[in-house]
Amino acid sequence: MPLHRQTEEHTAPERRWDLSSYRALLVDGDDMQRLTVARHLSATDIAIEEAHNAAEGIELAHHRPYDVIVFDMQLPDDDGLGFARAIRSDPALTRTRLLLLTSVGRRRQDIIAFQTAGIEAFVMKPLRRTHLCESVARLLTAESVPALTQVVDEEPPRPTRARVLLVEDNSV
């Protein structure tokens, strides 16, 4: 099989977000998920603080201003909608953007429930760094907050022709 060294680089440039002037609160009861989300968001240079449940998240939000609160739909002491309603009921927190991490959201009634609770954007699980960072960046840097948005998977450009060499000593 004739193989030739590829002369051009076809790697996509790494996306860069500069959210270093913003503060985020991450609320999630799952330690591993919180770690993953924090690592994803670290690509934006946003200042991140963490809370383990809705009560702690609300307490922190009352004491420190956050530009965005990123929270999970399933919190140990409340659901995401209840948490969002609690944040939205406080006049001091009306400018804080809310981004929901969820496994649901494909049905119209889910989106209506998100809007009713005051959630401005959501990202579907499994989380991808690019989608999460893009969503946070859009919420924070947009001049006006759009209607509830979901980051849609971007279709990568398909190669017109590919050649693959597979070498394996196990026939299975």
Average pLDDT of the chain to the nearest whole number: 86
What DSSP designation does 144 have?
S
Beta bridge partners of 47: 23
Segments of the chain with pLDDT less than 70:
9-15, 143-159, 172
Sequence-separated contacts (24+) of 35-43 with Cβ below 8 Å: 36/127, 37/70, 37/101, 37/127, 37/132, 40/127, 40/129, 40/132, 40/133, 41/70, 41/132, 41/133, 41/136, 43/15, 43/16, 43/17, 43/129, 43/133
Amino acid occupying residue 53: N
d(CA 151, CA 168) in angstroms, rounded, equals 38
Q: What is the pLDDT of residues 91-114, one digit of tens each?
A: 999 899 999 999 887 788 899 999
Measured in residues, the chain has a length of 172
Q: How far apart are CA 85 and CA 94, in angstroms?
A: 11
User: For residue 152, what pLDDT is reported?
Assistant: 46
pLDDT at 167: 87
Amino acid at 22: Y
pLDDT at 17: 86
d(CA 20, CA 95): 18
Q: pLDDT by residue (tens digit) across 136-152?
A: 999 999 755 555 655 44
pLDDT, position 107:
84
